[in-house]
Amino acid sequence: DQQVKQNSPSLSVQEGRISILNCDYTNSMFDYFLWYKKYPAEGPTFLISISSIKDKNEDGRFTVFLNKSAKHLSLHIVPSQPGDSAVYFCAAPRGNTDKLIFGTGTRLQVFP
């Protein structure tokens, strides 16, 4: 049972444009969400997070939006840069624990 889903395995965006990465979840008990970024041959690195008491969190070029009624969150990158090319994972802690449940990832390619 995939409780955190990223239905788009890949996304290609031109440099300077907006990248929108989507994530859906099935468990309405999730109250915190994280996005991680992963380059090849490296471990994931934390990017941005959002608590369920908010519907938006912004950090520089990165903004995460949370729609609790739709059980959907999205990561917006504006403007996209070639260095943003990586795999992006959304994740949520299971219950009141640190056991992160990860989505399957979306590979973003930003081309010049």
* Site residues (vs another protein, CB under 8 A): 4, 6, 32, 34, 36, 41-46, 49, 89, 91, 93, 96-105
Which string of b and e fits 28-57 if b means at least 16 CB within 10 Å? eebeebbbbbbeeeeebeebbbbeeeeeeb
C-beta of 32 vs 65, nearer to another protein: 32
- Nearest distance, CB of residue 32 and another protein, angstroms: 6
**How do 106-111 and 10-14 pair as beta strands?**
parallel
**Is 89:103 a contact under the CB 8 Å cutoff?**
yes
Provide the minimum distance between the beta carbon of 112 and another protein in the complex, in angstroms, as a whole number. Answer: 28
Residue closer to another protein by CB (options 44, 84) is 44
Least distance in angstroms from the C-beta of 66 to another protein: 15
Amino acid letter, residue 101: I
